[in-house]
Structure 1
Amino acid sequence: MACRISELVVDCADPELLAAFWSEVLGYRELGREDDGSIEIGPPGAGPGGPQPTLVLSPSSDPRAGKLRLHIDVSATDRDQDAELERLLALGARPVDVGQSGAESWHVLADPEGNEFCLLRARVRPL
């Protein structure tokens, strides 16, 4: 038997802001809140332990140091990469430079708190 990723935890200054952003990006909904201010979001109709990992946005006042060592990659399900890039930028994502050459097939973006993520070129099927 092996493990699988069930939750991704993102420390952040404003869980409300990031929960709203990532819910729009991923088509997720709020699954729950903890007394510490954490907000868990995930796919509609699913809960913790479902087939896709959920995101837990956890409040933290710790400063971030440098580029993230782990980031999220997203792929559009119902439009091409250019159209999805426009949608993500309209939601509040912004382009960032982490040393890419310009020849990449993906776009490096940051969420409203500056956490890097990549928009890949290939479309994937929705679950």
Structure 2
Amino acid sequence: MTYNLQIVVDCADPHSQADWWAETLGWTLEGTDPDFIKKMIAQGHAREEDTTTHNGRLVWRAGAAISPPGEKDLPDRRRILFQPVPEPKTVKNRLHWDMRLAGDDRDVVRARLEARGAKFLYDAQQGPYSWYTMADPEGNEFCLT
């Protein structure tokens, strides 16, 4: 038997992180239904404090998710969930992901991401392979390969 998994990223601002990564990866932001949220509050299943407004829309405070285009309605979709945590990031991640650029120029992608708030950390090489290690706007490391 095989299992599917969801990657979860702890962060300070899950909705901004989801926006940033959706644009970076070309993935789709999973929308929320404000009418459903209001209904859950009205029925006592949720509280106003469980919500927030992001980009003018009522959303759940507990997180935001992204998935590849065409997969967002599939129950077994690939998915990254961004969830809020109270503590700030203080040390290097023990897990990161590599963005495979599929032939795009690494320097061009690096400049585009830096313009959107990413930080270049260092470049590295092992044998014929080289990559840039970067950090997203909240400091989570990732590589451009």
Partner of 2:3: 3
Partners of 2:28 and 2:106 lie apart in 1 by 23
> Which has more helix, going by share of residues?
2
1:18 aligned counterpart, secondary structure: helix
Q: Tell me the matched-pair count.
A: 113
Q: RMSD of aligned C-alpha atoms?
A: 1.9
- The alignment's TM-score, normalised by the length of structure 2, stands at 0.69
> Which has more strand, going by share of residues?
2
Match of 1:93 among 111, 115, 118: 118
| 1:72 positional shift | 1.2
Partners of 2:107 and 2:29 lie apart in 1 by 28
Partners of 2:124 and 2:68 lie apart in 1 by 33
Instruction: Note the residue ranges of structure 1 that are not aligned, 5 or more in a row.
Output: 121-127
Residues 12 and 88, structure 2, Cα contact 8 Å, conserved in 1: no
Pair 1:109-2:108 in alignment: no
| 1:64 positional shift | 2.6
Partners of 1:45 and 1:2 lie apart in 2 by 22
Instruction: Note the residue ranges of structure 2 that are not aligned, 5 or more in a row.
Output: 33-58
Partners of 1:2 and 1:71 lie apart in 2 by 22
Which segment is superposed worse, 15-24 or 73-82? 73-82
Residues 65 and 82, structure 2, Cα contact 8 Å, conserved in 1: yes
Match of 1:49 among 76, 84, 99: 76
Amino acid at match of 2:4: R
Partners of 1:116 and 1:36 lie apart in 2 by 24
| 1:117 positional shift | 0.6
| 1:103 positional shift | 4.4
1:112 aligned counterpart, secondary structure: coil
Partner of 1:61: 86
- Indicate the percent of aligned positions where both proteins have the same amino acid: 41
- After the TM superposition, which parts of structure 1 deviate over 3 Å for at least 4 consecutive aligned residues? 32-36
Give the structure with higher Rg (CA). 2
- The alignment's TM-score, normalised by the length of structure 1, stands at 0.77
